[in-house]
Structure formats: structure tokens, C-alpha cells
Structure 1
Amino acid sequence: MENRGVNTGYPLWQTWGNDKAEKWIKDQKYKEGTVTNATRPTWGDYAQDSISVFKQKTIEGHAVRATLLATGITAVALESHDPQYMQTADQLWDNMVGRRMFVTGGVGAIAHDEKFGPDYYLPTDAYLETCAAVGAGFFSQRMNELTGNGKYMDEFERVLYNNVLTGVSLSGNQYTYQNPLNAHDHSRWAWHSCPCCPPMFLKMVSELPNYIYASSGDNLFVNMFIGSDASIRLANKTLVAVSQQTNYPWEGKITVKVDPEKESAFSLSLRIPGWARGKENPYDLYKSNLTSSYTLMVNGSLANAVINNGYAVINRKWKKVTR
């Protein structure tokens, strides 16, 4: 990651064009002399190699490569807590979601080089590769893990339900490579000469169970509204069984059951999606006119909860369920 942008500065991909630039590299022209100490050619914006990732203010180039690189940067930030990694991940996500993400969660507007377009370039016939949506989803989930902010799972949810799932048929054996909002004669295929989307879809589906719940200290997070059962051990050593019953997103009712192995005090943080609080997008790229609000109840009574970073936090002593 830190070696990106450390190059001779040549070839000039945008000026020379792909064919000439690729031939220049193949002929090893970069070894014939340089004005820098670098010893390798640049692979340009396409491969996020024109400048250092730490100087990059916008998400650029091939959309799948860019989103997966950003996911990796965030993973390093999780492990190292290095401020430059954290700041870079934050800047790239803000630019992607606030200026370059479609209402469906699709990213990568331009078919040529399968890349991001400039800020606010959001045409209805844009490219929007399925793999890029998966990459954007992974990036958002990692940002949630890094910061504990629910807005990242809001955008993960947007990507999952509105772009990733469109990429596969109900039968599960046909896929789309690109997902424009408006298209003619657009159909799913059983096989493609570049079969990258099916395994990327399977990567996301395989990881999804790990994203439903999370914990930090004595705080249990409900990130996704999916029928599920899990056992989570909190920092105070309490083992908590948690389950959900819901038909979300088709219906809005969600029942969460919390059953600690013994009576214990801890926080339950339920993500309240931005759209349910009148905030369709954290940067107002999109707005909706939802008229009703959410209702939160504990044991049939209205609950007192504080909204913190997009989560309704319920602090109480939870009892073991008696059967």
C-alpha cells in the first residue's frame, strides 16, 4: 500500500493512451533514465498508483480494485490504529458515498476501464459492476468495525439489497456483470468470459452472517435485520444468546430476543437506519420523504433509548429468559 505512487511518473496513461503506455512498460523504457530515484513505472489512476494513497482525496480508477484497496487500508487501520491509514480510509469513504455512489449503492460509473467517474457523475445508464458493489460493501463494513458508526452499515445495507442482490437471479445460477439503472435488453447470463462476479457474490454471502451482530466492551450491536441466532461473549465474560425474527426489508417489524446466561447489565445497540430517521444519505446526496417514524419497545413497553452514532442504545440489566 505504501509503495503506491512511488514510481518514475511515467508512462503518462491519460496523455499517451493505454496501448502506447503498455508498450512503453513492456519495452522497459523506464530503465533508460529517470528524474527520480524510483525504479518502476506507474500504473496510473486505473490501479491507484498515480500518487501515494495517503495523498489521495478522492476514490479513483478501477472501481473493484479501488474499493478492495480501501477495504485493505481500513483493515490495516483496525490493526495498527495508524492515523494516516484511518484518515485515508475516512476520506475515500466520504468521497465514495457522498459524491460517487448511486441511489442503489452501485459504484463505478464509467464502462471504459470499469472506473469511478468524477464527483456527482451519476448517469442512469452507468456501468455499476456487481463486483464493485461487493467491494463497496466490504469497505463500508470495515469502516463500521473501525469506528462503531451505524452510517457505514446503512450504506452496506443499501449496497446489499439494491445492487449486490440484483446481480444474481432467484434461481442462483445467472448473473449480471453490470447493473445500470436504465437499460435495454439487459439480461442475466449463465457464463461470462470474465467470470469475476459469481465468486465475489459468494464471498459477500459467505461473510454476511458475521456482519449481523458485533460487540465492543459490554455493548452488543445489532447491525443487520436478518432472521438469525447467535451467541456472543461480551467483555464482562457474559455469554449472550441473541436472535431475530423479521421479514425485513419487505416488512418493518423486527423482534429481537436477548437471553444472557445469567442476569447481567450491558448495553444493546440497535442500528436505526438513517432513512428511518429522515437521513437517507449521510451527506444528503439523496433525500426521501418518509413520514412515519420508528418505534422501539422492550417487553411490550416503549423504551427509553439514546441515539448514539446511528444506534438506539438501551442500557439495562437483562434477565435470563425463563422457560
Structure 2
Amino acid sequence: EVALRNADLIYDVCIVQGNAYVPGHQEIEIGLVKLYRVTGDERYLELAKHLLDIRSDQKDDAYSQAHLPVTQQREAVGHAVRANYMYSAMADVAALTDDPAYLQAVDAIWENVAGRKLSITGGVGASHRGEAYGKNYELPNHPYNETCAAIANVYWNHRMFLLHGDSKYVDVLERSLYNGVMSGLSLDGTLFFYPNTLRHDGVSGFNQGVNGRSPWFNCSCCPSNLSRFVPSVAGYAYAVRDGEVFVNLFMNGEANLQTGNGALTLVQRSRYPWEGKIEMEVMNDAATEAKIHVRIPGWALERPVPSDLFTYADEQAAEPSMQLNGKSVQMDLSNGYVTLERTWNKGDVIQLELPMVARKVIAMDSVAEKRGLVAIQYGPLVYCAEEIDNSRDVLEASIGTSSVFGARYEPGMLGGVIVLEGEGLTLVPYYAWANRGAGKMNVWFRRPELDNFQGQTYP
């Protein structure tokens, strides 16, 4: 009732009275779309689109994404949190109105981010100037990458998946979730990062003046945003469309899904992201006809991101495989999914196995600050070296392209993690860094075999 009264007031002021107020910090548009979905009242969708449409040609306001009408925008600019909230709303409007101008704009902006402005952790908004998207390929080793921007990146990519049904959006969502979002929250849930750097000298107060994690900030949007976001994570695991089920994320749990042909109950069991074996068992009593689309992550298909921004520098050790009731399934992919269509009975089991090994990731040459550098990834997780685990200086450490990293599970370390060891280095998941005090940390390491490595600077 409170939400409806507020929305009705804003509708009266902006639509009925005709006041052209442009929201300075976008997000109300998302709320209005949700209100429309719940109530069916088209005024709220009209208002959401209106607040986007009146963002006009104010040349000096790229910071607030008001430099061009939204349907003419093609590049992610300005304050990254505001931007991603706005792009989320644009995806909503495109889906609900079939407006081709909105669709063309939001698709182009997404391609710009995925191909030019996405950190390896799924973080966005690399520029400290205005907590903003920088220039194309401006991906420094000390990015800003606000936690709220990573959360908003999850929102946006989820909506892009709902709009297009392509798993590449879930690939970015998962990367942001496991790395860019989770890094913002300490393991005990009491300390936070506002920005999320990829390289720390162990002494500077990079976190809003604090060296390490902080319990609060003068502007505490990130802690409160995390408290809202974390309980919603399970909602990203599955999607349903008529008689189709999309399995997007891998996590233990039971899902009761209502398809166009009846209920389908799936129980998922796995130790993902530590192990690549995922089992999905059908548990509903009544037989149900449905298509189940199982996502095969891009990181398991030689594409760490859905562009050429980052690539692997080593060879794939194995390929994903799948079985249905113990029989091998042909891995024919459409939009990143293997589709299983049948009448599902209680006890049917889908088994997916993904290759979980340490992989070396490099950036394209256009990313100047990443030339001559390499990062390590294990499954969907980006890894880092912390001072506490290493006797050598992690900021000066190098990793050769031919080096091999072994993986072992350490149940008593950082809440239970896979630790990687190689090249005289011990690596832990990036999301878990700074949970044992402040110290040096590094994600991108020198590649000593490259000729241009000696001349590279590391700001």
C-alpha cells in the first residue's frame, strides 16, 4: 500500500502534471516495473518508460547517463551503479514493450561492457573519477569496481538473459556474483569493501580510507545493498518459460518449478565451485513433460568471458560431459545450453561434469595495463596471492604460461576453499582476500617469457 501511494504520487507529478524531473540516481525505474508486474497496472510501466525517455541531450551530464536519449546511447558511461540500474530498466522496458529502439540500445551497451569495460572479476566502473565507467579498455590494476556496481551488473545480466534466453548473460552474471560481489562481503558478514581493487600494497587506505575491510562507511550503500541481494541469490539458479526449465547456476537445493505442463521438482547436489560434478534428480511424483536446458558455462568452453577481452593462455585439459540416467548425452549446444526434452519421472538423474582445473587468463593487447600479465582462474573463481600465504613479494611475483598449479581443498582455511599452488606461490579465491587482516594482494602477475614484460609498469 505504501509503495502504491508513492508510485501514484510520482505518476501524478510527472505524468498528469507534466513535470520533467529526471531521476539523478536511477533505480526507481526498476521498482516501477516490478510494481507493474505485480499489479498489472500499466501506469507504472508507462511511468518507468517515461523516466527513461526524458533523459535527453544534456552534453555535460554523461555522469548521470543524461547526455543522450537512452535509445541513442551505445556505450556504458558515467557512474557505474546508476548506469547498470538504468540498463536493467531498459532491458525490462525492451522486454515488456518490444520497443526495437530500446532493444538495439541495451544490446549495444551490453556488448560495449562485455568487450571493453569488464574486469576479470565481473566488476565494472573501473575509474576512480566519479566511481564510473572509464574509456574503452581502461581496466587498471587498481580499479574502483564498487560492490554496488557488481550487484547491479548481476541485475542487468539477469534481465538480459530473460530478454534473450542466451547463457552468455549468465556467464557474466556468475562471474560478477562469485568474484565482484562476494569480494565485497567478509566471510562472517560483518565487514565490507566499497571498492574492489585487484592489487594492494598492504598499507594504503584504498577502502574509503581504510586499509582492509570496514564495518561501515559514511555512505553505506554497499553493506545495505548486500543485505538485500544475498537472500535473493537462489532466485537466479533457475528460470521457467512455458514448458521449459533453464538451469543457470549450480548450487545445492530443491527447486519446485511450475512449468506449462505441470510441476517439476529438481534436487541439485554438488560441491560447485570446488568440484565440477553436478547432479540433478527429478523428485516429483507425477510424470511431467518438459524441456530442461542445462547451461554449460562459457569458462568451461574456452571462453572466460563472452568476448575476446580475456582469453585462456593454456590448453583445455578436458571437455564438459553429461549423462542422463547413466547414459552419455550428446553435447549439442544452443545459446550455451544442452537441451533435454522428455517426460520426466521421479528418479531421473542428470549428471554434468565440468573440468575444474587452474587456467591462465590474459587480456587482449588493447588493455594497456594488462600487457605482459596473467591471472589465474579455477572454474568460475578468480584467484589471488596474499602476503600472509607467501614468503615472496606477491606484487613482484611472476607466473609462466607453461607453469602448472595443483589444487587441494583446505576445509579449515577461509571457510573451506580450494587452494592453488605453483610457481612458488599459494593462491586463494579473490572473494576471500583480506579476511585474515590487511596485507599485500595481487591478481595479475608478470609473464616472464614475454619480451615486453621488462618494460611494463604496474601502477
**RMSD, matched Cα:** 1.5
Aligned to 1:29: none
Structure 1 residue ranges without an equivalent (≥5): 14-43
Q: Aligned match of 1:174 in 176, 191, 195?
A: 191
Are 1:151 and 1:310, in contact at CA under 8 Å, matched by a contact in 2? Answer: yes
Per-residue CA distance 1:254-297 (angstroms, 9 max, x = gap): 11112344223321111000111111221111112332111101
Q: Are residues 1:314 and 2:365 paired?
A: no
- Matched letter for residue 301 of structure 1: K
Same amino acid, percent of matched pairs: 35
Shift of 1:6: 4.9
Per-residue CA distance 1:140-163 (angstroms, 9 max, x = gap): 111011111001001000001111
Q: Are residues 1:304 and 2:330 paired?
A: yes
Are 1:297 and 1:303, in contact at CA under 8 Å, matched by a contact in 2? Answer: yes
Are 1:62 and 1:116, in contact at CA under 8 Å, matched by a contact in 2? Answer: yes
Per-residue CA distance 1:162-188 (angstroms, 9 max, x = gap): 110010111101000111110223410
Are 1:306 and 1:314, in contact at CA under 8 Å, matched by a contact in 2? Answer: no
TM-score (normalizing by structure 2) = 0.61
Aligned to 1:214: 239
Per-residue CA distance 1:168-226 (angstroms, 9 max, x = gap): 11110100011111022341001111101012212321221111111112111101001
Aligned length: 287
Shift of 1:305: 4.5
| Structure showing the higher strand proportion among its residues | 2
Task: Give the whole-Å Cα distance in 2 for the aligned partners of 1:94 and 1:6.
Answer: 22
Task: Give the whole-Å Cα distance in 2 for the aligned partners of 1:183 and 1:45.
Answer: 30
TM-score (normalizing by structure 1) = 0.85
Task: Give the whole-Å Cα distance in 2 for the aligned partners of 1:261 and 1:311.
Answer: 26
- Matched letter for residue 114 of structure 2: V
| Cα pair distance change 1:203/1:87, threshold 3 Å | farther
Aligned to 1:28: none
Q: Aligned match of 1:123 in 123, 128, 140?
A: 140
The alignment partner of 2:339 has SS state of strand
Aligned to 2:73: 56
Aligned to 1:295: 321
Shift of 1:253: 0.9
Shift of 1:84: 1.4
Aligned to 1:113: 130
Output aligned runs, 1:253-292, within 5 Å: 253-288=277-312, 289=314, 290-292=316-318
Task: Give the whole-Å Cα distance in 2 for the aligned partners of 1:148 and 1:258.
Answer: 23
Aligned to 1:189: 214
Task: Give the whole-Å Cα distance in 2 for the aligned partners of 1:6 and 1:103.
Answer: 33
Structure 2 residue ranges without an equivalent (≥5): 1-51, 204-210, 349-459
Per-residue CA distance 1:58-113 (angstroms, 9 max, x = gap): 01000000011101111112221211122111111111111100101111111121
- Matched letter for residue 272 of structure 1: I
Are 2:321 and 2:331, in contact at CA under 8 Å, matched by a contact in 1? Answer: no
Q: Aligned match of 2:248 in 207, 223, 233?
A: 223
